[in-house]
Amino acid sequence: MIIRLSEELILWSSQEFRFIKIDDAYSTGSSIMPQKKNPDATELIRGKTGRVYGSLTSLLTTMKGLPLAYNKDMQEDKEPFFDALDTVLACLQIMSKMIATMKVNSENMKKAVKGGFLNATEVADYLVSKGVAFRDAHSIVGSIVIYCEDHKKSH
């Protein structure tokens, strides 16, 4: 879940979206593009996922070969388990602090929601609930979207 949140925050903080602004304590300027800020904390958390997955794979591989009784192999479960635990806890702490200082650009979010006909599927579903076949509802809504695009009506 934290990897998904990291990826969303990376995307939402990009110049293309600008939905959020990550505090300078959790980002750095780009070495080549002066106008760009890199969301370092989220990128590092996303990268740590590979390490945690590696620990899981190590544990699963050790467990796979065991018969029903305890064996010395189980001594090898401690290192990956505690490393993964420490990594996840550290990531959660950073993510929590980063989110607490993050600024939300609600105006950019509102603009994004108004464009792109995000509710077109709901309109088609509404027509279906009124007895219109989905194929026909899809065609009707598609025609409405094309009309709106042709006439520069985005909302």
Query: Does one domain contain both 91 and 120?
Result: no
What CATH number did the domain enclosing 140 receive?
Answer: 1.10.40.30
**41 is a domain residue:** yes
Domain extent, residue 133, equals 116-150
Query: Does one domain contain both 133 and 87?
Result: no
Measured at the CA of 85, the angle between CA 69 and CA 79, to 5 degrees, comes to: 50
Query: Does one domain contain both 29 and 95?
Result: yes
Residues 6, 12, 15, 19: what is their CA dihedral angle, to the nearest 10 degrees?
Answer: -140
Query: Does one domain contain both 76 and 122?
Result: no
E-assigned strands of 15-88? 20-21, 28-29, 37-38
Query: Does one domain contain both 88 and 138?
Result: no
What CATH number did the domain enclosing 52 receive?
Answer: 1.20.200.10
**155 is a domain residue:** no
pLDDT tens for each residue of the chain, 155 residues long: 889 999 999 999 999 999 999 999 999 988 888 878 899 999 999 999 999 999 999 999 988 878 877 788 888 899 999 999 999 999 999 999 999 999 999 999 998 888 888 889 999 999 999 999 999 999 999 999 999 999 988 75
pTM (2 decimals)? 0.75
Query: Does one domain contain both 107 and 120?
Result: no
